[in-house]
Structure 1
Amino acid sequence: MELRPRVEKFIEKVVDSYTDEEFRINFRMNRRTFNDVLTLIADKISTQDVDVGHHTIPAKAQLLIAL
């Protein structure tokens, strides 16, 4: 099985460096609204359970993926 190339720390290196306009274009909401929504739902989508061999995805990443 061939592994696909991945960008390490994509959110930290790329998404967090977006200008406010780039963030809005890519995620269809402004950064403040995103952070407000994240605050409201983070505890509902976060888990401390770890499946064997799988890392948990942080709430911020889950919301960005959903958008």
Structure 2
Amino acid sequence: MKYRVDQDTCIGCGLCNSTCPAVFNMNDEGKAEAIEGEVPETELDAAAEAKDGCPVGAIEEA
């Protein structure tokens, strides 16, 4: 499974990064972005929690 963050929707709150730092990080513009590759199996639950917890729904399954 892969995730992507809609840069136009992201408000840069950092919730996804704090929930699942192995998959989500903050870029130089202060917006979240997801790792390029497949989410490691050990991080699937945390990544799903981050997606579900995004206050603006900016995280999508890719």
Query: TM-score with structure 2 length normalisation?
Result: 0.30
- Higher helix fraction: Structure 1 or Structure 2? 1
- Higher strand fraction: Structure 1 or Structure 2? 2
Greater relative CO, 1 or 2 (CA 8 Å, sep 6+): 2
Give the number of the structure whose alpha-carbon radius of gyration is greater.
Answer: 1
Query: TM-score with structure 1 length normalisation?
Result: 0.28
